[in-house]
Every structure is written in structure tokens, then in C-alpha cells.
Structure 1
Amino acid sequence: MEIHQFYDEGLAHASYVIRDAGQIALIDPARNPEQYLNFAERHGAVITAVIETHPHADFVSSHLELHQTTGATLYTSVLVDAEYPHQPFNEGDRIALGSSWLEAINTPGHSPDSICILLVDSHNKPHAIFTGDTLFVGDVGRPDLRGRVGNITGEAAALARQLYRSTREKLMRLPADVVVYPAHGPGSLCGKHMGDARQSTIGTEISSNYALQPMDEDEFVTLILEQQPFVPRYFEYNVMLNKKGAPAFQASIDAIPTFSDLAIHNNGMLVVDGRPQAQFQSGHLPGAINVPDGLRFETWLGSIVNPGEAFYLVAEDTQQLQVLVEKTAKIGYEQQVAGKASATGGPVQGALFDEMHFAKNQPDYTIVDIRNREEVNANPIFPSAIPIPLPELREHAPHIPTDKPIVVHCAGGYRSAIGTSVIAAALPHATVIDMGTRIQDFNHVG
């Protein structure tokens, strides 16, 4: 028996292959199925089962495409009311895999339809638990994502109570040496205090996970609900897309038209420019929003652009454009890309930040702080700054005063590149300046 973890750093997403006697079961696969198909071919094995622990909010799964490609049976909780061909997989149900088997454990809490999957080896011994978004290393899944979406919705507090019982009555009663394989690691927005390790054990989590320490249900609910991170715009869309089943990955991105000169085709549609900040500032199309390619490109794209909102995608060359298209598809947004193009410049240039003038004349600027509220409260840098979290900026940008130059900052420089372009697109006649990494000269914490 072999367990192999595939890990996507950009979405902090872990998916799993379990191989036994020439058979493979996949758990929570990513959008591009190629890595799993290659693994199966390399080992001369057949993918016979694909299991979804719940309809994911932060990425699009390839479960339907894998079924169509390999004939593998799809399994998920009956509570999902999945629209794709599937076999219900609920408490106590088992799937044989070589000399081992996989058993479903209903664990509502992160979502009403969450399951965990217990791997029992050939000696009838529990070996590993694939916990989806129910239990992470050092954390548990957030319960506030299913208030308005899915077959079954649930208020955050009620789901938190279910999560309390799922962890105490089911997961924490497993043997201490059972290996924990979660669907996410640090950087995911599906939790708030995830540890750096990509796997753990039940015993380790009972002793060190803050959410599994002795406390009553009310204490747990209060603890879990406080200071959860923001919810990107695309999360609800992904839940519904995963419930339905996404179109085939390669065919979907191949359908995006390529333009040699996007300016000719641009008729006021949103342009997402994925070039580095310096290239964007040197010249870009009017109204373009700069989301530089980086570790969290997918998350910020889905936090700025609305589900269903058509846009053009721009990168510095064809190679980088392909990378961005594939990242866009991870959250199902490739279906919204009206066209893609390489670009080296444009008619609009960004204003440069004059640190010396700003330091001596701060009252002459309107300062916009686009960090999260928790960051601002913990470390206010400029008392006069207008705090607007980046995920809310497109709605509030038109109301920012324009009588002074607008200086935008975050904590390190990446988000401010996005925020500056959002404000400049909303206020084309204003002077909007990105403080970028120079914020570190004014932030004396640490």
C-alpha cells in the first residue's frame, strides 16, 4: 500500500493517491487531472475510485473529468446532492482497495456534508484518516462558508457546534498513531492557524491543536468563529461548480481565444494584467487591474473579480500567459476569460512614489490602507489612513476623496500593486501612487 500526496503551493491544497494491488483511489483531486493519470500510468495501476470529502469552496476539482476519462466511480456524501454520476458514501460505507479498504465517517462542521475517509490496512488496523477540511495540522476547518450556498446550508454557529461533536465524538476517538492527511496547509483560507507540516497524527493533534484542547461546546464555538479570514468572492461559485462537476480542464482553457493586440478588442471589458508591478506601471491598458503572478494569484484573482464577470487576461509573454490561464482554471474562472494576450506596455503609466516628499508632507496625501481589519487593528501605521480591505476595494474605491494624491499601502507590497490599480481604474482622473515595499520604512513593528 502506498499513499502519495500531491501539493499545490498556490492554493495550499493537498490531494492524495492511495495505491494498493494495482488499484488507485484519489481523494480531493485538483483541477488538472494530468498528474494523477501520469502517476497511474507510471505505476501500471488503474484509478477505480475518486472521493470528494465535500464540495470544495477554494478550488475546482477534476472528479467529473476523471470519471469521464477513466470510468472511475465517484463517491461523496449523499447530503451533497451531487449532480454528477456518483455513488453515495456515508457513515460506515466501505470501498475495497486491494487488500485495504476505505471507510466513510460523517463529520459535519466545516460544511454540513463533510466526510472523512479512514484507511484500514490488510491487518484490519486503522492506518490513516483523510480529513478534508474538517481537521488540519494545528487547526480545524472554518464553519462560516456555507451560510448561503449548497444543497444544505448552515449558520456558522450551528456548524461550529457540529464540528465540536465531529472532532470529539469521532476523530479524537481514533487510535493516536493514525496518520492525519488534511486537504490544506498553511496559506489556505479554509482555516486560520494551520501548522507548517503537511501531515500529522491523531495523538499529535490532540496534544497540540488549539481547537482540540479541553473546552465546552460554547467555548469552542466562540473560539472557532473569532478572527476567521475573509471569504473570497469565488468561494460560493466553486461550491456550486464542484457540486455540478467542472468541464474538462485542457479543453476549457484551449477554448480561450488569443489576441495579438488586445487594445483593438477592448470595449470597456475588465482587463486583468498579470505582469510584474514595475512592468505594469511603465505602461498598461486603461482601466486594467494589476494582479501580478505570484504564490497567491488564484486567491487574489477570485477575490477581486466577481464570478460570472468576463475579463481579458494579459501577461508578459506566451509562456507566462499559459501559466496564468492554468492558475485561473484552478478556480473555474477560465470560463470567464473572453480573450488572452501578451503585452509589453500600454498608454497609461503609473505615478511613482516619492518617499522623501511623502515622509515630510503626509497631510498632503490621502493614505489608503488595504490590509485586513485584523492587521490594521493590531498595527496601525498611519493614523490618518482610510482603511479599506483589498477584497472590498472595488466597491468602495469610487468614494475615496480625490482632492489629494492617493497613496496606497499594504504590509509588504504585493497587495498594494493590486489595490493601486483598482483605485486608478475606478478614479481615472486621480493621482494614485503605490507605496509598494517602501511601507517597510514606515512600519516599525518587529
Structure 2
Amino acid sequence: MEIKRFYDKPLAQASYLIIDNNEAAVVDPARDPQPYLDYLRKKDAKLTAIFETHPHADFVSSHLELKEKTGARIYINPDVGVDYKFEPLRHNEEVLIGDLVIRALFTPGHSPDHNSYLLIDNKGKEHAVFTGDSLFIGDVGRPDLREGAGNIQLSRKELAGLMYDTINNVFKNLNDDVIVYPAHGAGSLCGKNMSDELDSTIGKQKQTNWAFKVEDKDKFIEAFLEGQPFIPMYFPFDVDMNRSGAGSIEETLSKIPVVKNTSEINKDAVLVDVRDEDSFKEGHLKGAINIQAGEEDKFETWLGSIVNPKSPFYLIGANSDQIEKTKKRVSKIGYEGRLLGTYSVNGEKDVSDKQLDLDDFKNNTDNYTIVDIRNNSETEEGLFFNNAIAIPLPELKDRVNEIPTDKPIVVHCAGGYRSAIGSSLLQKEIPETTVYDLSDDVEKFK
């Protein structure tokens, strides 16, 4: 028996291959099926089962493409209400993978149609549980994503109550040495207090995870609902896409045109420039938004938080290599269908950003309008500047009218990545006002 984890760090998303006697199953596969296919070929194993815990909100799954390429069956809770052919699995129903048993556990709370999957080895011992977005290491999956998406829509309070039942009636009954393999790690917006560890045991979670320690249901619900992070606008879109099933990633990406001249670009579309902030500030197309796509940047999350899934957009990069890599990242959240084209910068400098005089800013902060774009949970702990206007980055575009334009504007976050997005967004929305990005110089004011 082998369990192979695949981990996408920018999305903090984990998926798993289970292999036994040359037969394999995958749990919650990511958008690109190729890494799984390559590993199966290396191990001379045949994929026979695809287990989906629920319709994911934060990424698009390759379950349908894997089914079409391998003939494997998709197993999921039937209440999901999907558009593709699947095998329904309800609580305690089982599937054989080699000499292993995979038992479905109904674990609602993050979603009302959530299954976890308990792996029982060839000796009948409970070995591991693949918990999807129900149980994380140190936390449980947020309950507020299915109020307006999916086949079944419940209030966050109702889902919080279901999560209490799941913890106490399902997970607490598992053996302490059962390994916990969740679908997400620290940095995911699907929870709020996740550990940096990628796996644990039921016993350790009983000792360290807050959700196992709150005995009163009403107190559990109150604690669970408090302080949840913002919901990116692409989340409901991805829930529906996963219920339908995404098509071939290669086929879709190959149809995206390459733009050779800026005159071909529709100026009404969103321009997403993925270059590093220094290159962007040196010169960029007018109206472009700088969402950097470095290897470990949370590009996918911020693309789906800033660009509406209904909005057509262009991808602008330094060269074709960067463009090709970023196109795949766009597809992770299902946005490739809105991508009108890609463009490699050829030295155009429609606009160059002005550099902030840091000494003048330090000595005369009242001469600037300071916009703090950190999340509410961050600004509640205190502002770096007493006169700052706090507007979280996901709300910035819709709240531009709250920002005075009689002074130069300085945008800051906690480290510099988000402020590159926020400052470029304000430059687009209020071009008549000078907008500066404090960037990583914010460290000097903490």
C-alpha cells in the first residue's frame, strides 16, 4: 500500500493517490491530471476510482477529465446534484481498491453534501481518513460557503451545527492512531486556524484541535462563525463548475489566442499583468492590474478575488514562458474560459509609476491619504498609521468613492504583495490622482 500526496502550495491544496496491488484511487484531484497520470505510469498502476469529498469552492477538480482518460469511476455523495455520471456513496458504503477498503463517512458542516473517506488496510485496521474540507489540522472547514451556491444551500449557522455533529458523532469515534489527510493546509481560505502540518492523527486532533474541545453546541457554533476570512468572488463559480465537471485542460488552454499587438486588445476588458512589481512599476499598459505570479505567490486566490468570474480579461507577462505557466494557474480556478488572450510585453511603457519619497512620507504623513488594504482580522489588531483608511483589498474596487482624492494616496498591506495589486487597481480607477505603493517599506512602520 502507498499513499502519495500532491501539494499545491499557492492554493494550499492537497490531493492523494492510494495504490495497492497495481490498483489506484485518487482523492480530490487538482485541475491538472497529468501529475497523477505520470505517477500511475511510473508505478504501473491503473486508476479505478476517483473520490470527491464535495464540490470544491477554491479550485477546479480534474475528476471528469481523469474519468474520461482512464475509465475510472467517480464516487461522490449523491446529494451533490452533479451533471456527470457518478457512483453514489452514502455513509458507511464501501469500495475496494486492491486489498484495501475505502469507506464513505458522511461529514457535513463545511458543505451539506460532504463525504470523508476512511481507508481500511488488508488486515481490517482503520489506517487513514481523507477528510477533504471537513477536518483540517488544527481547524475545521468554514461553514459559510454554501449559502448561495451548490445543489443544497444552508445557512452558515445550520452548517456550523452540522459540523458540531460531524466532529462528535463521526471523527471522535475513529481510533486515535488513524492518520488525518485533509484537502488543505495553512494559507487556505477554507479555514481560519490551520496548522503548518499537512497531516496528523485523530488522537492528536482530539488534544490540539479547538473543535474537539468545545462540548456545548451553541458555544461551538458561536466560536466557529466568528472571524472567518473573506470569501473570494470565484468561490461560488467554482462550486458550480465542479458540479458540472471541467473539460480537458490542454484543449481549453490551446484555444487561447496570443495577442501580437496592443491595438488588438479590447480596452474594456481587465488587463492582468503578472510580472514582478519592479518590472510593472518601471512601465506597463495603462489600466493594468499587477497580480504577481511568482512561484509561491497566491496568484490564483487574488485573481479570483479581484477579477469577477464573468469579466473577460487578458494575461500580460514578461515572455511566453511566464505566460504559459500562468495560463495553467488561471485554469486552476476555472478562469481560462474568460481569458481573451495573452500578451508578452515588448518594452511598452504607457505608464510608469512614480516612486514615493520615503523621507517626506515619514515626516509628513498628514500630507497623504493612506489606505490600509489588509483584511479586517488584521486591522482589528491595530493600524500602522492612525490616519489610515482601512478598506480590505477584495472590497477596494467597490469602495473607491470612500477615498479622498485631494492628496496623493499611499497604499499599504502587511508585506507588499497585496499593495502592488491595490495601488495598481486605484491607478486604474482614479487615474487623475497620484497613487503610491508603500510595498515592503511598510516593514519600517510596524
Question: Could you say which TM-score interval applies, normalised by the shorter chain?
Answer: over 0.9
- The amino acid of 2:440's aligned partner reads T
Q: Which residue of 2 aligns with 1:41?
A: 41
1:192 and 1:267 mapped to 2: Cα distance?
A: 38
Segment drifting more, 393-402 vs 28-37: 393-402
Residues 277-296 of structure 1, C-alpha deviations (whole Å, 9 max, x = no match) = 11111111111111011320
Q: Which residue of 1 aligns with 2:444?
A: 441
How far 1:262 sits from its partner (Å)? 2.9
- The amino acid of 1:216's aligned partner reads D
How far 1:261 sits from its partner (Å)? 2.1
SS in 1 for 2:5: strand
1:397 touches 1:422 (CA, 8 Å); kept in 2?
no
| Pairing 1:355–2:358 present | yes
2:432 and 2:7 mapped to 1: Cα distance?
A: 44
| Pairing 1:275–2:278 present | no
1:394 and 1:120 mapped to 2: Cα distance?
A: 50
1:54 touches 1:80 (CA, 8 Å); kept in 2?
yes
Q: Which residue of 2 aligns with 1:253?
A: 253
2:30 touches 2:62 (CA, 8 Å); kept in 1?
yes
1:147 touches 1:155 (CA, 8 Å); kept in 2?
yes
How far 1:359 sits from its partner (Å)? 1.2
1:266 and 1:389 mapped to 2: Cα distance?
A: 29
2:303 and 2:212 mapped to 1: Cα distance?
A: 34
- The amino acid of 2:248's aligned partner reads A
- The amino acid of 1:316's aligned partner reads A
Q: Which residue of 2 aligns with 1:224?
A: 224
Residues 106-152 of structure 1, C-alpha deviations (whole Å, 9 max, x = no match) = 01100000010001111111111000000011111110110011000
SS in 1 for 2:243: helix
Which runs of no fewer than 5 residues in structure 2 stay unpaired? none
How far 1:316 sits from its partner (Å)? 0.8
Q: Which residue of 1 aligns with 2:176?
A: 176
Q: 1:284 to 1:263 in 2, by over 3 A?
A: farther
How far 1:403 sits from its partner (Å)? 1.0
Q: Which residue of 1 aligns with 2:2?
A: 2
Q: 1:277 to 1:345 in 2, by over 3 A?
A: farther
Q: Which residue of 2 aligns with 1:336?
A: 338
- The amino acid of 2:53's aligned partner reads T
SS in 1 for 2:47: strand
How far 1:191 sits from its partner (Å)? 0.5
Q: Which residue of 2 aligns with 1:128?
A: 128
Residues 235-278 of structure 1, C-alpha deviations (whole Å, 9 max, x = no match) = 00000000000121111111110112234423331100001111
Q: Which residue of 1 aligns with 2:371?
A: 368
| Pairing 1:215–2:242 present | no
2:74 and 2:264 mapped to 1: Cα distance?
A: 45
List 4+ stretches of structure 1 deviating above 6 A.
none
Give runs of aligned pairs for residues 386-397 of structure 1, distance below 5 A: 386-397=389-400
SS in 2 for 1:117: strand
- The amino acid of 2:326's aligned partner reads L
Residues 274-323 of structure 1, C-alpha deviations (whole Å, 9 max, x = no match) = 01111111111111111011320000000000012100000111111111
2:269 touches 2:311 (CA, 8 Å); kept in 1?
no
2:239 and 2:102 mapped to 1: Cα distance?
A: 24
| Pairing 1:410–2:413 present | yes
2:110 touches 2:134 (CA, 8 Å); kept in 1?
yes
How far 1:399 sits from its partner (Å)? 4.2
Q: TM-score, normalised by structure 2?
A: 0.98
- The amino acid of 1:213's aligned partner reads K
Which runs of no fewer than 5 residues in structure 1 stay unpaired? none
Segment drifting more, 267-276 vs 184-193: 267-276
- The amino acid of 2:307's aligned partner reads V
Q: Percent identity?
A: 46
Give runs of aligned pairs for residues 298-337 of structure 1, distance below 5 A: 298-337=300-339
Q: Which residue of 2 aligns with 1:293?
A: 293
1:10 touches 1:297 (CA, 8 Å); kept in 2?
yes
SS in 2 for 1:35: helix
How far 1:440 sits from its partner (Å)? 1.0
Residues 387-408 of structure 1, C-alpha deviations (whole Å, 9 max, x = no match) = 1100011111244221110110
- The amino acid of 1:239's aligned partner reads V
SS in 2 for 1:139: coil
How far 1:328 sits from its partner (Å)? 0.6
1:262 and 1:280 mapped to 2: Cα distance?
A: 16
How far 1:42 sits from its partner (Å)? 0.8
2:179 and 2:21 mapped to 1: Cα distance?
A: 21
How far 1:427 sits from its partner (Å)? 0.6
Q: Which residue of 2 aligns with 1:50?
A: 50
Q: 1:214 to 1:233 in 2, by over 3 A?
A: closer
1:279 touches 1:345 (CA, 8 Å); kept in 2?
no
Give runs of aligned pairs for residues 76-155 of structure 1, distance below 5 A: 76-155=76-155
- The amino acid of 1:298's aligned partner reads E
1:308 and 1:205 mapped to 2: Cα distance?
A: 40
Q: Which residue of 2 aligns with 1:62?
A: 62
2:441 and 2:356 mapped to 1: Cα distance?
A: 9
SS in 1 for 2:396: helix
Q: Which residue of 2 aligns with 1:161?
A: 161
SS in 1 for 2:95: strand
1:263 touches 1:285 (CA, 8 Å); kept in 2?
no
Residues 363-395 of structure 1, C-alpha deviations (whole Å, 9 max, x = no match) = 111111101111111021111111110001111
2:389 and 2:174 mapped to 1: Cα distance?
A: 49
1:119 and 1:391 mapped to 2: Cα distance?
A: 39
How far 1:172 sits from its partner (Å)? 1.0
Q: What RMSD, in angstroms, separates the aligned Cα atoms of the two structures? A: 1.0
1:120 and 1:262 mapped to 2: Cα distance?
A: 58
How far 1:331 sits from its partner (Å)? 0.2
1:264 and 1:103 mapped to 2: Cα distance?
A: 54
1:399 and 1:127 mapped to 2: Cα distance?
A: 55
Segment drifting more, 261-270 vs 76-85: 261-270
- The amino acid of 2:413's aligned partner reads C
